[in-house]
Amino acid sequence: MESILLLEPSSTQKRQALAQILRDPQTAAEGDREEITKRLRSLRTAAVKARKDLLERLQSAAKEQTARRWFFAADAAGAAAIIRRICPDTGAVAVNKSAVVTAEVAPFLRAAGTKIVEPYYDGLAETEARFTQAWQLPEVPLAASRNAFQREDDLPARRRQSLREKGARNLAAVIGVNALAAQDGSAVLLQHRTNIRRMLTECRRIILVAGIDKIVPTPEDAVFQASCMAWFGTAALALDLGRKANKAPALDDYPFTIPPGGALEKITVILLDNGRSGIATGAYGALLQCIGCRACVASCPAGEYFGAPRPSPRELLLADLQNAAAPLAHCLQCECCRSACPLSLDLPGMILDRRHRRARSFPALSDRLLANAEIVERLGSRLAPLANLFLQNELVKKISEAAGGIDRRRTLPFFAAKPFADIYRDFRSRSGK
């Protein structure tokens, strides 16, 4: 079986859902939210707990399939190597916006000289996003989101038909999978624009990348998990609409150079670990329950300071645990992400614990300076004239910002050549007290 299911917005269903809310708000209330989140927690908890068994079941099911090639990659570098090996004559790959691709695999592809095409941004106006802060986002009722997506089951057939009639672009499509069924290998993909559909039908080669944490028991579970991503993550979409994060080429920059009928290759699936097995058994095992809906992103007041495109707290934590240092210090510990999470994951607690562990092992220079302010003050006082001169120098300010995290716009207080205790003693002696 080669089932690839696509969840995508349906304008008709969306209008009907909004009309129902306007007609009868009480009927359209989110009364079943608790039931949905309860089922989702049960599914994700069981999936992480049974991860080894699910992986073995999926690998057994893969052996019976002839329409796909299956690989297991221990890390992201290995996944990138598999992709390059499969595509020796393709100098570029098109990717979707899935973090498993953009944050984990794509950096290794870029380092090897592979061009990255991001069709998600094709057609978006080169303007700043209307919404940049969490509190600017409109509230999207769950009842509206639930009825705004439709499911398509015949993507492999559509791909074969398109390749026979139109041929293909000489590109490999590397697509992150939102859910994968251990029972039969069914893959569920979620798109909010038309990028994934175009990649599946127009690119020469298709490579699906799935983190092993995305494996669930049945196709029904996979559809439910991906649907929850769509339902709970709608509001965060507005934060991504605007100017391109980079000047990546567009899909249309690559013409149909493969003739009709000349690109019927097997679809490749890469199961990626990249530290997930170790994380599952450690202090941050609950992190793998995350479905990647990005509801937390829509609630984070510090999100714009974590980088662009805006990562989720889960993506930051996962990157840090995979030894790619992330700016966790920007987290305000406001717990908005925990409140927004449909699984109520303690992301702030995990971030705080990770910051604590990193500070004990690899304290930043700024942390050392602030933790030993008395020593810094003594040295500054002894070198007061010279130290004060340096503190006002623009070059020194830039170096301090880069090395110590002290904003160059901050005006720092001058060091006094004589400590305050000595000044006070002199004052008392002069006043006769």
Residue 200's identity, in one-letter code, is L
- CATH no. of 4-280: 3.40.50.10420
Domain residues of the chain, as ranges? Answer: 4-280, 285-361, 378-430
pLDDT at 241 over 60: yes
Token pair recorded at residue 383:
């070198």
Tell me the pLDDT tens digit for each residue of 300-329: 988 878 877 788 999 999 999 988 777 888
Reported as type and span, the H/E element at residue 432 is: none
Task: Note the pLDDT of residue 231.
Answer: 92
pLDDT at 368 over 80: no
Find all residues with CB under 8 Å of 65, minimum gap 6, and list them: 1, 2, 185
d(C-alpha 149, C-alpha 169), whole Å: 28
Q: How far does Cα 136 stand from its chain's mean position?
A: 21
Rounded to 5 degrees, φ, ψ at 92 are: -145, 150
Q: How far apart are the first and last CA of the chain?
A: 94
Task: Note the pLDDT of residue 1.
Answer: 46
User: ∠104-105-110 over CA atoms, to 5°?
Assistant: 115
Tell me the pLDDT tens digit for each residue of 177-216: 999 999 999 999 999 889 999 999 999 999 999 999 999 9
Task: Note the pLDDT of residue 2.
Answer: 60
Q: Which of 231, 242, 267 is nearest to 144 (CA)?
A: 231
203 forms beta bridges with: 169
Tell me the pLDDT tens digit for each residue of 54-104: 999 999 999 888 889 999 999 999 999 999 999 988 889 999 999 999 999
Reported as type and span, the H/E element at residue 160 is: helix 155-166
Q: Are 135 and 208 in contact (CB under 8 A)?
A: no
Tell me the pLDDT tens digit for each residue of 409-426: 877 778 787 777 888 888
Helix (H, G, I), strand (E, B) or coil at 258: strand
122-126, 162-166, 178-182, 397-401: segment of lowest average pLDDT: 122-126
269 forms beta bridges with: 70, 208
